[in-house]
Each structure stands twice: as structure tokens, then as C-alpha cells.
């Protein structure tokens, strides 16, 4: 019988171009807040898991500099990486350490400083985040190109239009306008999005998440410890994790991410949620909208929409508050920003705060079921983590 | 009550300059062997944890290319990094996943291809593996320089000589001569070592571990699954993990690694081993001899020797077979080689094979207690993992 694990403290930095801080300073903005909110002392931490992709960083031991600056030197620690799903993988590793009985309190911090490197370096590094040798080096495909393949196939097959993609950006910018930590806290229109320049047809600049610096942190605790610390634990109910081929060319279809479907099935099974009932089983979702098409595919991969129906949810505003399932009330990767290693942890922070009714008005979901879903993808569906967070104590 | 976890399969590539293979091919050499030895099918694997430091690699998603090539696409997976202790951190993450009940079978693979990059790149990257901003960039200290500080302080304080350091290299090369997977399977003499050129006084070329390509893999299983698979499980009895300051300049002494002492204390406590009794509680140890001084400090940090007495063990050949505790019968990092992300997993493979009496004659330890110790350090004591492996089922 595994031990239950809860979030008992959260921290979140401002996302954006953060040339004012270095990596440990940026991480500490979230660590300080999460430690303070949880009411623990630094000495109480048993393990620190650091999520950081870091290919553009001059720091080869990011976990160590983060720990030193935060006053956590001495603790057991390691770094986790799963491309853009790094933060969720770090949460899984931290959760497992507590569930196994090895630790009572784990600090999970995700941090990324992408603007540290010249832009071409960052763009090339992300470009390689599929299969380097065959597809990047030999055929020149880069990251927006991968998602453009999916977008093209999806639009051709189901009849979605570029305007439908832009509707995702409009929604996410709308909610970002209520989030003071967001990189782009301002509304946009479909027309502005449609006028923005192409990055890889049919994806435009406004279909794409930005290059972001930021951090997020959660303090995780065992059931016994959580009971002493807080009256409002948010439980990690279930985690599904899956991967897919490195080479996109080895995949059978470009209409959705097979890894996301597998991860969702695993998470739902663990939580006892029946296939087809997810939309009424959650109050909200944060999904991985690195490009707008990714959010539409996520609706379908998660079972919130039927196959080929995802873009209709957007047209009908069914993923705004008041619709079927509100999605990306933080602003999403698109408008909140996407500091690679921090994103999955940022989703966890958002889930905890939303479920507890603690986010800014304008973007607070109505909480009825008491459960939220985070969907975090690394690469182009190379990794996917689907994590369910709940106000109700999960099955042990 | 955590679930017990055992090694049920092991794999190990040849270590050396492996320009004949790319990263996934190199990893597969170990994966194939570990899967085959365990008797499982690829479908039985629940999670793949990949240990890879990878700062010199052109592959930003090493876990994904490794999984694809091995036929493991689809599985939950992530990469772990803890500098040169990466492999041990990966084993911890895999162990925790099983102990928590999240997984029944986990494949842990460590792989590094350091010769992929030009030598200056590798040397600079390793050079940064302390504190980049202050100590590397501002003061120009590199990795051999860090250990040279420790060696100088140790020699001055305790009266050890350069010849004593060389005796470590001589021992490890001696045992490597029986290990066909070793990078340098040949004996050397103290005189040859003393004649080798200085890298950072008092450390010479023959005091230093080489730049290595290699991989190692273990299949881990829950107690229930292990019972079905094998009559000879090797249990992961206890893991201690600790870290230290990023800046070496913030440490109080240079005579040993505080993180190693902490990690050892934690592991011994979990295994119920009394302080001071470690030498008679284990049949052998693999310790992190990235430089010869590191092995001598390890004796003391682990409690195999008293403070300031480690070099005397070497003088008296007490860490050869037949002595107090045989150490680095694989050849160690020094002569077996040190492919960063693989090293901790290689230690686990060595422990399992030694405890089961399955290594080459000439380097097989007599097994009486049925327990071995692996000591794996990242950076200059920035990370340390101490892992105890046992033939006897541990306390639950």
C-alpha cells in the first residue's frame, strides 16, 4: 500500500525575460514562497528534486547551485529532465520518494533560464528536441515544424481552420490578463493572431509559446506530515507517464499524441475514472499548449472531446469558465510562458491554488468535483505526463 | 512499509573510446544483456530511468533515442542527472518507483559518450562541474584543481606522499587487468605513475580517471516479481544521499567529503549497521576514484579507515583481496573508466555480479557477509550516493 502524497506549499516566480536574476536566484523566488506557505523549516526537507532542461545553461550542476543559494546544501538531491515535461517528471520522482517511505517531505523545484543564451542557441536547442541525428541534422526539421505537421494533418482531416487555432491563443491570453505572473498578461484578438507572421505554416507567431525564464516549486508531504502542516492538502491522486518514438517519421498518424492517450488512460485507471467521463470528473485542466494545435489535440487525447471534435470546443468557447471544462486559466504555455523545466511544476502550483480557490478573480474556476488535471508534454509527444490533483484523499 | 526492491538482471558494455557506436547503440549493449539475463520481455518494463549527464552531447533527448532504439518507445521514462553520481541517482529514482508500488519492473540504464565531443569541450565541461560562475569563470579552477586542493591539504595534514596516491592507481589497474570490459586492462607500477605528467600538482595523469564512453543497465523488480524471475535476487538494501555547497570555498575543510559522510551515515542507519563496524559488515566496496586521492578520502568518509589513516590502508595493501576490505575490484573509475552517467549503474552491476560470485577469477571477492557497498560522488563531493547491496532480504 503506497503512502499518500499531498502538496502542502506552493511558490511561483514571475515568468518572462528575467535578466535581473541568475538561475539560483530565480529558483529561490519560488522555493522561499513554497517553504513559507508550507510552514516547514529548511531542515525539514528530506530530498530536493530539481527540474531543469538546461541545455542552454552555463551551469552544468544546476541542482547544486540552486540548493546552495536556498540554504539546502547537504540534502539528498538530483536533477530530472524529460524535455518540456521535465517539471512533471520531477514531481513524479518526488512523489515516489514519499510514497515509498524514503522521505516525508520533498521540495520539487522547476527552473529554466532560456534567455541566458543567445536566441539562435535556444532556437537550435529546441529545434533538436525531436530526433537530432536523422530528422534535425539530415532533414532540417525543427520544433515548430513538427507541430506544423500535426496541424496540417489535423486541419486537412477534420476541417479545422487557422482561425480555430487562433481562438486557443485568444482564450489563453484572455486568462493570462488576470495572472500577474504571466509573461504576456494582455488580451489579443483573432485578427491580431491571424496577422502575425508564419513560423511554420499554418502556425504563426501567436500560435507559439514564447522563450521564457521562470521557476515554480511545490512542497510535497506524506499524509501523516501533511495532516500536521495544513487543513487544506491537495493530493496527487494519480500520475500517468508514457513516451513515443524519437523519430516522428515512425509514427502512424499525426492527428494526436499517442503518448498523451496512454498517459491519460493510465492516470484515469489509477484514479478509478471511467473512460468517457473525464469532462464531468474534473473542474479544470491545464494542458500543454506549446502551440495552439497542441491544445486542441490535448482535448481529444484526454477524452474531453471526441476525435476530430476538439476544434469545435474552441469555436463554441467550451473551454472557457462556464463551458464544458475550463482549460489553461493560468494563460497556458502560450501566454503565461513556458520555462521548460518549470512548466510542469507551474501546472501543479496552478492546480493546488485553483482547487483551493486561491487564484485571482476572473480566472478562478468554480470548484465542484474537487479535481484538476495537468497534461504536460515533452518534445512532440516524445514524453507525456498526465497528473490528477484532488481535494479528496485518494485511494491508498 | 515500503516494498523491497531487487536487481534481477545486469548488463555492461565495454568501456573505452567507443567511436564505433552512437548513444542508443551503446546503451542497447547493456539493455539487451540486462533484459535477457532477467528473463523478462520488453513489454514487462513499467518505467525506464535513463542516467545521462550529456552536456557534451548533440542529443538533447537522450532518454527518448535510447528507448526508441531498444524497442521501449511508449514506456514512462525520464532522465536523471547528478553529475558523476548520475547513475546512482537514477537507481534511487527507479528503486523509489517500485518501492512506492507505482511500478513492478524498472529498467535503469546509464550511458555516456564523452568522446563524441572534441576533447577541449569535454575538459571544459567537466571543469565547470563545480561552481561555474564564481570558481570556474572568475578564478579559473577546474575539476582536477579541486581534487588537487584536497590532495594537498590531505598530504600536508597527514603526511601522505605522492607514492601513496600512486599505489591506488596500481591496485585499480591490477584488478582492471582481469576485467575485459575495462578501458585500461593492464597493470602499471608506482614508478610509471610517478613519471607521468602533472595534471594539477600533486595529481598526475595516472592519478586521474579517463574520458570514457560506456553504458551499464540493471533490471529492478519488486519482491513479488523478483521471486518469479530468479533464485538469486540482489537486494538494494539502503541508499543514502547527500550534497554539499556548490562553491568549494564555502567548505570548512579539505580532508574529506562531508556529503559522503552524511550519505554513509544515512545508508548505515537504514541498514542497521553500527558506526564503526562497516569494514566487517561488507565483503567489498566500489568507491568513486575519479582521482586517487578520492579513493583514500572515501575509505575515511565511509568509516573503513580512521581519519588520516586511509593512505596507510593503501600502503599496507589492505584494500586488495585478502585485506581488510577489497575496493574497486572492477578497476574503478581509474582503470575501468568513468563514463559519467553510467558509472553508478556500473557499480550496481559490479555489486550484483560480485555478490553472486560471477566475475572473472583474479578479481572475485570472497563473499562471506553477502553485502557490498557502492560510493558514487558527483562533482567534488557536490553529490554523494552510498548504496548497500545485499544477498539477504532487507528489513521492509
Task: Evaluate if residue B109 carries a pLDDT over 80.
Answer: yes
> What is the share, in percent, of chain B residues with pLDDT greater than 90?
89
Domains A5-118+211-229 and A236-390 share a fold: yes
> How far B77 CA lies from chain A's nearest CA (Å)?
7
- Long-range (24+ apart) CB contacts under 8 A made by A170-174 are A171/A314, A171/A317, A171/A319, A171/A320, A171/A327, A171/A328, A172/A289, A172/A295, A172/A328, A172/A331, A172/A332, A172/A334, A172/A335, A172/A336, A173/A331, A173/A334, A173/A335, A174/A320
Span A382-396, average pLDDT: 94
CATH of the domain spanning A236-390: 3.40.47.10
Per annotation, catalytic residue among A12, A288, A338, A382: A338
Span B109-132, average pLDDT: 83
Give, for B63, the enclosing helix (H) or strand (E). helix B62-70
Query: DSSP letters along B337-380, please?
Result: ---HHHHHHHHHHHHHHHHTT-SPTTSPPP-SS-EEEEEEEETT
Query: DSSP letters along B183-206, please?
Result: SS-S---HHHHHHSPEEETTEEGG
* Domain A5-118+211-229 bears CATH identifier 3.40.1180.10: no
Q: What CA–CA distance (Å, rounded) separates A389 from A283? A: 10
Task: Evaluate if residue A151 carries a pLDDT over 80.
Answer: yes
Query: What b/e string do you get for B23-34 counting C-beta neighbours within 10 Å, with b at 16 or more?
Result: bbbbbbbbbebb
Q: At what angle do helices A62-70 and A23-38 cross, to 10 degrees?
A: 50
**B132: DSSP letter:** I
Q: Which three cell numbers stand for residue A53?
A: 532542461
**Within 13 A of A393's CA, how many CA atoms are on the CB side?**
10
Asked if A198 contacts A32 with a C-beta cutoff of 8 angstroms, the reply is: no
Torsion of CA B154, B156, B162, B166, to 10 degrees: -20
Q: What CA–CA distance (Å, rounded) separates B94 from B344? A: 13
pLDDT at B1: 58
Best A56, A64, A261 residue to mutate vs chain B (most B CBs within 10 Å): A64
The size of the A-B interface in CB pairs under 8 A is 213
Span A271-288, average pLDDT: 96
Q: Where are the domains of chain A?
A: 5-118+211-229, 236-390
* Backbone φ/ψ region at B339: left (φ over 0), alpha (ψ -120 to 50), beta: beta
Query: What b/e string do you get for B139-167 counting C-beta neighbours within 10 Å, with b at 16 or more?
Result: eebbbbbbbbbbbbebbeebebebebbbb
Q: How far is CA A271 from the centre of its chain?
A: 20
Task: Evaluate if residue A328 carries a pLDDT over 70.
Answer: yes
User: Do the Cβ atoms of A79 and B80 come within 8 Å?
Assistant: yes
Q: Which three cell numbers stand for residue A57?
A: 545553461
User: With bands split at pLDDT 50, 70 and 90, how would you rate the model's confidence at A1?
Assistant: low
Residue listed under C-alpha cell 578520502: B297
pLDDT at A21: 96
Q: Does B333 touch chain A (CB under 8 A)?
A: no
For chain B, how many residues are written? 396
> How far A40 CA lies from chain B's nearest CA (Å)?
20
Q: What CA–CA distance (Å, rounded) separates A182 from A124? A: 25
User: With bands split at pLDDT 50, 70 and 90, how would you rate the model's confidence at B100?
Assistant: very high
Q: Does A267 touch chain B (CB under 8 A)?
A: no
Give φ, ψ of B320 to 5 degrees.
-85, 165
Residue listed under C-alpha cell 533484459: B35
**Share in percent of chain B as helix, strand, coil (round to 5):** 40, 20, 40
Q: Does B68 touch chain A (CB under 8 A)?
A: yes
The per-residue pLDDT for range A48-74, each reduced to its tens digit, is: 999 999 877 777 899 999 999 999 999
With vertex at residue B165, the alpha carbon angle to CA B164 and CA B168, rounded to the nearest 5 degrees, is 95
How much is the CA Rg of chain B, to the nearest whole Å?
A: 19
Span B352-380, average pLDDT: 98
CB atoms within 10 A of CB B71: 16
Torsion of CA B357, B358, B362, B367, to 10 degrees: -10
Q: Which residues in A lie closer than 8 A to residue B73 (C-beta atoms)?
A: 243-246, 250
User: With bands split at pLDDT 50, 70 and 90, how would you rate the model's confidence at A131?
Assistant: confident
Task: Evaluate if residue A18 carries a pLDDT over 90.
Answer: yes
User: Do the Cβ atoms of B80 and A68 come within 8 Å?
Assistant: no
Asked if A107 contacts A48 with a C-beta cutoff of 8 angstroms, the reply is: yes
Q: Which residues in B lie closer than 8 A to residue A86 (C-beta atoms)?
A: 78
Q: Does B59 touch chain A (CB under 8 A)?
A: yes
Asked if B15 contacts B350 with a C-beta cutoff of 8 angstroms, the reply is: no
Give, for B267, the enclosing helix (H) or strand (E). helix B258-271
User: Do the Cβ atoms of B83 and A60 come within 8 Å?
Assistant: yes
Task: Evaluate if residue B55 carries a pLDDT over 80.
Answer: no
> How far B233 CA lies from chain A's nearest CA (Å)?
20
Query: DSSP letters along B157-180, please?
Result: HH---HHHHHHHHHHHHHHHTT-T
User: With bands split at pLDDT 50, 70 and 90, how would you rate the model's confidence at B116?
Assistant: confident
Q: Which residues in A lie closer than 8 A to residue B99 (C-beta atoms)?
A: 96, 100-102
Residue listed under C-alpha cell 546552495: A68
> How far A79 CA lies from chain B's nearest CA (Å)?
5
Asked if B111 contacts B341 with a C-beta cutoff of 8 angstroms, the reply is: yes
Beta-bridged to residue A81, according to DSSP, are B79
Q: Which residues in A lie closer than 8 A to residue B249 (C-beta atoms)?
A: none
Q: Does B55 touch chain A (CB under 8 A)?
A: yes
Q: Does B80 touch chain A (CB under 8 A)?
A: yes
pLDDT at B59: 78
Q: How far, CA to CA in Å, does A337 sit from each of A2, A15, A173, B262?
A: 35, 6, 10, 39
pLDDT at A188: 98
Task: Evaluate if residue B115 carries a pLDDT over 80.
Answer: yes
Catalytic residue positions of B? Answer: 84, 338
Give φ, ψ of A132 to 5 degrees.
-65, -55
Q: Does A83 touch chain B (CB under 8 A)?
A: yes
pLDDT at B139: 79
Within 8 A by CB and 6+ apart from B240, the residues are A76, B262, B263, B264, B265, B266, B267, B268, B269, B270, B384, B385, B386, B387
Mean pLDDT for all residues in chain A = 95
Mean pLDDT for all residues in chain B = 95
Beta-bridged to residue B291, according to DSSP, are B208
Asked if A344 contacts A311 with a C-beta cutoff of 8 angstroms, the reply is: no
Q: What CA–CA distance (Å, rounded) separates A113 from B73? A: 29
**Within 13 A of B130's CA, how many CA atoms are on the CB side?**
23
**Within 13 A of A175's CA, how many CA atoms are on the CB side?**
27
Q: Which residues in A lie closer than 8 A to residue B93 (C-beta atoms)?
A: 78, 80, 93, 96
User: With bands split at pLDDT 50, 70 and 90, how would you rate the model's confidence at A178?
Assistant: very high
Asked if B347 contacts B239 with a C-beta cutoff of 8 angstroms, the reply is: no
Select from B361, B354, B331, B366 the least CA-distant residue to B187. B331
Q: What CA–CA distance (Å, rounded) separates B251 from B244? A: 8
Amino acid at each position: 500500500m503506497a503512502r499518500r502524497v499531498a502538496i502542502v506549499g506552493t511558490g511561483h516566480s514571475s515568468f518572462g525575460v528575467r535578466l535581473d536574476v541568475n538561475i539560483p536566484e530565480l529558483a529561490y523566488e519560488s522555493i522561499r514562497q513554497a517553504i513559507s506557505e508550507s510552514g516547514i523549516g529548511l531542515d525539514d526537507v528530506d530530498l530536493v528534486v530539481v527540474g531543469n532542461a538546461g541545455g542552454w545553461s552555463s551551469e552544468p550542476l544546476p541542482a547544486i547551485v540552486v540548493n546552495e543559494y536556498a540554504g539546502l546544501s547537504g540534502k539528498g538531491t538530483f536533477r530530472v529532465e524529460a524535455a518540456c515535461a521535465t517539471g512533471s517528471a520531477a514531481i513524479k520522482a518526488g512523489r515516489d520518494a514519499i510514497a515509498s517511505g524514503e522521505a516525508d517531505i520533498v521540495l520539487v523545484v522547476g527552473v529554466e533560464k532560456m534567455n541566458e543564451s543567445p536566441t539562435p542557441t535556444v532556437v537550435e536547442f529546441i529545434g533538436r528536441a525531436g530526433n537530432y541525428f536523422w530528422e534535425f541534422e539530415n532533414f532540417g526539421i525543427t520544433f515548430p515544424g513538427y507541430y506544423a505537421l500535426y496541424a496540417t494533418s489535423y486541419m486537412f482531416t477534420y476541417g479545422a481552420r487557422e482561425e480555430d487555432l487562433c481562438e486557443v491563443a485568444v482564450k489563453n491570453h484572455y486568462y493570462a490578463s488576470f495572472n500577474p505572473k504571466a509573461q504576456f498578461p494582455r488580451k489579443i484578438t483573432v485578427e491580431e493572431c491571424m496577422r502575425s507572421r508564419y513560423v511554420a505554416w499554418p502556425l504563426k507567431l501567436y500560435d507559439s509559446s514564447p522563450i521564457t525564464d521562470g521557476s515554480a516549486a511545490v512542497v510535497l508531504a506524506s499524509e501523516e506530515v501533511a495532516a500536521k502542516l495544513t487543513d487544506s492538502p491537495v493530493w496527487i491522486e494519480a500520475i500517468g507517464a508514457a513516451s513515443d518514438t524519437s523519430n516522428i517519421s515512425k509514427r502512424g498518424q499525426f492527428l494526436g499524441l499517442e503518448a498523451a492517450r496512454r498517459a491519460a488512460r493510465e492516470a484515469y485507471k489509477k484514479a478509478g475514472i471511467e473512460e468517457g467521463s473525464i469532462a464531468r470528473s474534473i473542474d479544470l485542466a491545464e494542458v500543454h499548449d506549446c502551440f495552439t494545435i497542441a491544445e486542441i489535440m490535448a482535448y481529444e487525447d484526454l477524452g474531453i472531446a471526441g476525435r476530430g471534435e476538439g476544434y469545435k470546443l474552441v469555436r463554441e468557447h467550451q473551454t472557457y469558465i462556464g463551458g464544458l471544462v475550463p482549460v489553461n486559466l493560468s494563460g497556458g504555455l502560450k501566454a503565461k510562458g513556458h520555462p521548460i523545466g518549470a512548466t510542469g511544476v507551474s501546472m501543479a502550483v496552478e492546480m493546488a491554488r485553483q482547487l483551493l480557490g486561491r487564484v485571482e478573480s476572473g480566472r478562478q474556476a468554480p470548484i465542484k468535483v474537487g479535481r484538476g488535471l495537468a497534461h504536460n508534454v515533452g518534445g512532440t509527444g516524445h514524453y507525456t505526463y498526465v497528473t490528477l490533483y484532488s481535494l479528496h484523499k485518494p485511494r491508498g
